[in-house]
Structure 1
Amino acid sequence: MRIIEGKNPVMEALRSDAQIDTILISKEAAQGSFAKVIEMAKAKNILIKNVDKAMLDRLSENKIHQGIIAEAMEYEYKEIDDILDYAKKKGEKPFVIILDEITDVHNLGAIIRSAECLGAHGVIIPKRRAAQVNGVVAKSSAGAIEFLPVARVTNISNAIEELKSKGLWIYGADMDGEKYIYEEKFDVPVGLVIGNEGFGIGRLVKERCDTIVKIPMKGNVNSLNASCAASVIIYEIMKQRTI
């Protein structure tokens, strides 16, 4: 069973095809604030239960449930081909985010949120030594996880080779990159690699990237955290493809 916490993530799950079993609402919460959620749940014949806040506190993974939790089926990871098919259905060149051992669930959720909002077609994560989709990720993504395909693979390097064989150009994000992001033309099918919060992209993964790009920095602090860096580069790619 997967826990979806907070008003907005629950509403986005209801708008999507997520298989929700039950919605739990705190007896202590202002019921009027959940009127729309209740209406949407009833339209889908989803069971609604009024429970004590203490029960929600016990179930909550991030302790910010806002008085509402949905119990849903476990997240269904997709395949790489599902991501590419999603791009094809939209009539767009594939744009895939590849995460090399992102370990913080809040970073994973934030990256998924930026990716969905800014037009990426999916995210690829490794099965091991990395954050996985859970309730905290769903909350941090503000519900974007319900709309953006996330594929889980055994080996990121092999996944990159598969994407390259299908026509994608792979860009790695690194502060020592050979080009600034605005100097590159992202008018091709793109795979963007974002590395671990501490040590960045692994050596073997970096060797498989076609180009390493960097973000121009002008402050005294010369680095951004993984989710912020991802958002900046994802935006640049979206901007070039839109304007």
Structure 2
Amino acid sequence: MRKPGTKKGAVVGSGGQRRKGLEGKGPTPKAHERPNHKAYRKPLSPQAKQRNDTKRRDTGPTSELVAGRNPVLECLRAEVPATALYVAIGIDADDRVTAAVQLAADRGLSVLEVSRPELDRLTNNATHQGISLQIPPFEYSHPDDLLDIAKESGEDALLVALDGVTDPRNLGAVIRSAAAFGAHGVVVPQRRSASITAVAWRTSAGTAARMPVAVATNLTRTLKDWADTGLMVVGLDADSSITVDELELATGPIVVVVGSEGRGLSRLVRERCDETVSIPMAAGVESLNASVAAGVVLAEIARRRRVAGRI
């Protein structure tokens, strides 16, 4: 309609044609959720971190994707459990890709062709080189299960506990040594510790499939519970005056505690140990890698048990 007494045209209006454009966009996001807000770049408070950690734990375990031709081939050769192999459409196949596809087919894995944009999305834009392997989440045991496994074996328990080892390669190497020298299981703390990732799987050379790995909510309390059942707790400490050559506790039920390379054993864990031992080394060498130190001690324990006829 024209307005009376004017030559202007009809009054402009949407006429209900853009009703969706009039709807609100919902509540304004919080400051720390907006990338352009200064609060977004500030570290979260402890309470916010706890809420975020809770949300992440609620999502449950998720699968992991190993990206890259060499890592994928190494995982398949190590018989790392996998569910699917993703190959980019039109990939320039070389010997590694051919071998990976053949190994996956021999194991009955699903070999799926996907577009490169889709593979970018699945691997979170990692350098995948046109191939990726999907690994299911690792199934951890309970610390009490390790004691049951040792009891069923008919041998004196030999367990390994890791205190502050955050490198998954070290975790994988310790698992491999534990399997080689007759340990019944490995336990890691729930926080500030490496977990069983594809890297740990690959370093363990597949032994993680048969070596039980448990998660302790509180490592100190778990060690106390094990001590109450009769296990002796022995920690590795470079400053200890007792060497592994003098480890008389090796032939009985024992749990070997390995600390991190940097700080070693934590104070509470050290106080829980019945004895600490060191590894004698040549002058000029300060310490060993955590996984190497664990292998040396486990080898000595296995030797003493063979001599004593306990294994």
Q: State the TM-score, normalizing by the size of structure 1.
A: 0.82
Match of 1:79 in 2: 142
2:99 maps to 1:33: yes
Q: Which of 260, 268, 271 does residue 204 from structure 1 map onto?
A: 268
Seen in structure 2, the aligned counterparts of structure 1 residues 90 and 25 have a Cα distance that, compared at 3 Å, is farther
Higher RCO (Cα < 8 Å, 6 or more apart) = 1
In 2, the alpha carbon distance for the partners of 1:104 and 1:147 equals: 21
Residue 235 (structure 1) aligns with:
299
Amino acid in structure 2 at the alignment position of 1:33: A
User: Could you say what secondary structure the match of 2:276 adopts?
Assistant: strand
Aligned to 2:168: 105
- 3-state DSSP class of the match of 2:300? helix
Instruction: Report what 1:190 is aligned to.
Output: 254
In structure 2, relative to structure 1, the CA distance for the partners of 1:161 and 1:47 (3 Å cut) is: same
Residue number in structure 2 paired with 1:163: 226
Measure how far apart 1:221 and its partner are. 1.3
What percentage of residue pairs aligned between the two structures are identical? 34
Q: Residues 50 and 120 of structure 1: is their aligned pair in 2 closer, same or farther, counting only changes over 3 Å?
A: farther
Name the residue aligned to 1:95. Answer: 158
Describe the shift of the 1:229–1:158 C-alpha distance in structure 2 as closer, same or farther (beyond 3 A).
same
Q: Which residue of 2 aligns with 1:175?
A: 238
The amino acid of 2:99's aligned partner reads S
Q: Which runs of 4+ in 1 moved over 6 A?
A: 51-54, 65-68
- 1:40–1:238 CA distance, 2 compared to 1 (3 A): farther
- Are the equivalent residues in 2 in contact too, given 1:21–1:72 (CA < 8 A)? yes
Q: Does 1:222 align with 2:251?
A: no
**200-209 vs 213-222, which deviates more?**
213-222
Aligned length: 235
Does the aligned pair in 2 maintain the 1:97–1:115 contact within 8 Å? yes
Tell me the SS of whatever aligns to 1:232. helix
Deviation at 1:13, TM superposition (A): 4.2
Structure 1: 5+ residue runs without aligned partners?
none
Greater Rg over alpha carbons, structure = 2
CA root-mean-square deviation: 3.0
Q: Which has the higher strand share?
A: 1
SS at match of 1:179: coil
CA distance in 2, matches of 1:94, 1:207: 21
In 2, Cα distance between equivalents of 1:237 and 1:216: 15
- Structure 2: runs of 5+ lacking an equivalent: 1-62
TM normalised by structure 2 equals 0.66
| 8 A Cα contact 1:102 1:195, kept in partner | yes
How many Å apart are 1:40 and its aligned residue? 4.2
Whole-angstrom distance in 2 between the partners of 1:47 and 1:217? 49
**Deviation of the 1:103 alpha carbon:** 1.5
1:198 Cα deviation (Å)? Answer: 0.6
